[in-house]
A and B are shown apart, each in its own frame.
Chain A
Amino acid sequence: MSLRRSCSRYFSKWRGTTRGSPPRVSSAEVLWSWVGAFVGIALVTWLNTRWFSGTDAGLLIGSLGASAVLVYGAARSPLAQPRNLVGGHVLSALVGVGCWQLLGHWPGVAELLAPGLAVASAIALMHLTRTLHPPGGATALIAVIGSEDIHAAGLWYVLIPAGLGPTLLLGVALVVNNLPATRRYPETWW
């Protein structure tokens, strides 16, 4: 194939293949997404202030907000199922902590390389284990670029917040997402 044809074929993909994104959901869906996310994040916040006040290595991390989008806002998505939700965070946390343990002692190298390595490896591991969960990438990143408290927590970070946080969101999702007749969760456990 000529170079010109290869190029035109390549750039034709830039145009996109699909017209329009999925339609807007009903207002009732919007409300239930709101309720689920509010209860889920509020629960994690409350437990965090009770158990972990004064430390940054607590229960509440930014990536849980992203998980809430999937678990309460797109509950049917394969990315939002329990295997992905808990597995994605835990495995990504392992990768993130591992990257910091490996590279953290080299000033300069750690700041430049560790974040990319952590996120990319987390994605690869989630792919390989069928636990792809986008917020996992953030969990891996936080393990590397987080505060001294988080770095000091070491492997505890895998358990708290990366294990317990998503498990709490999962519990709330089971309760809230199954209340309305038009919703169900999960599609599959494993």
Chain B
Amino acid sequence: MPDQRKTGPLPGAQQPPADAFELDDEDVLDAMRQIPGYLDISTEDFRAIYRLAHAHARQRLLRGLRAAELMRTGIRPLAPDSSLHDAAECLVQQGLKALPVVAADGSVAGMLTENDFLGCLGVRSVLDLLLRLDAAAPADVARCRDARVSALMSAPAICVAEQARAPEMLRAFRRHAGRSMPVIDADGRLRGLLLRKDLLHAAHLDDVGA
């Protein structure tokens, strides 16, 4: 059994991020055995280099990303005065769970999500809705169907600029519970929709163990 002695930080070494994947001595020694020739590096030095290089690689992978390159374009946004019924159709057709609401002047007025529909029906989730299907009052459903998008949308919408880089995108996602958000240009006009899953996929966060 390898002796998994707890070791302190290397004197003078910058403290690495706590989430870095930890290698134990046996991992490093095994790798060294596979490289012919004498390597004059201690396992602790190797670990320190690995941690810092790992953090650097993560920065490099994140730094190159911009919202404009990740966003989905060609989406049809909602109008503030359309009915929820039309809005629901629009969402279903595009296979999305949320859509930006764009005002007549082209600015992003808000965001309408599936949750806004559920809230209108007085339930907390789709499962909640299923459980209460029998009890749903037809009057509530009709009221929701005819309501205007502007009455239910979340406004103002949290948006990111086209030029936003990964840290800004991550910060923006942390500010709300949504899974997507509008990407806007300098004039506040809608340019596309940034999906959280697209950001996670592009950031290779799984590859670098973040």
Measured CB to CB, the residues of A under 8 A from B are 12-13, 17-23, 25-26, 28-29, 73-77, 79, 182-183
Stretch of B4-12, B51-59, B152-160, B178-186 with 4 or more beta carbons under 8 angstroms from chain A:
B4-12
Set of chain A residues within 8 Å of B25, measured between Cβ atoms? 18-20
Contact check, B33 vs A17: say whether CB atoms are below 8 A apart.
no
A19, B5: Cβ atoms closer than 8 Å: yes
**Residues of B that sit less than 8 Å from A by CB:** 2-3, 5, 7-8, 10-11, 25, 29, 32-33, 36-45
A-B contact pairs, 6 of them (CB 8 A): A12-B8, A17-B42, A18-B44, A23-B29, A77-B38, A183-B37
Query: By the criterion CB–CB under 8 Å, are A25 and B37 in contact?
Result: yes
Q: In the assembled complex, how far is the CB of residue B22 from the closest CB belonging to chain A, in whole angstroms?
A: 15
Interface of A is mostly: loop
Q: A19's contact among B3, B32, B37, by CB below 8 Å, is which?
A: B3
> What B residues does A182 contact at CB under 8 A?
36-37
Assess whether A18 is in contact with B38, with CB atoms less than 8 Å apart: no
Cβ–Cβ < 8 Å partners of B38 in chain A: 22, 25, 29, 73-74, 76-77
From B10, B29, B36, B43, contact of A25 by CB (8 A) = B36
Give chain B nearest CB distance to A138 CB in angstroms.
18
Judged by DSSP, the binding face of B is loop
Interchain CA distance A18-B38 in the complex, whole Å:
17
Asked whether B11 lies within 8 Å of A13 as measured between CB atoms, the reply is: yes
Given contacts A12-B8, A13-B11, contact A19 B43 (CB under 8 A): yes
Contact B32 A183 (CB under 8 A): no
A75/B37 in contact, CB under 8 A = yes
> How many angstroms from the CA of A84 to the CA of B5 in the assembled complex?
35
**Chain B contacts of A23 at CB under 8 A?**
29, 32-33
A74 nearest in chain B by CB position: B38
In addition to A18-B7, A22-B42, A75-B37, 13 A-B residue pairs with Cβ atoms within 8 Å of each other are A12-B8, A13-B11, A17-B8, A18-B25, A18-B44, A18-B45, A19-B25, A21-B42, A28-B36, A29-B36, A74-B37, A76-B40, A182-B36
B32 touches A22 (CB 8 A): yes
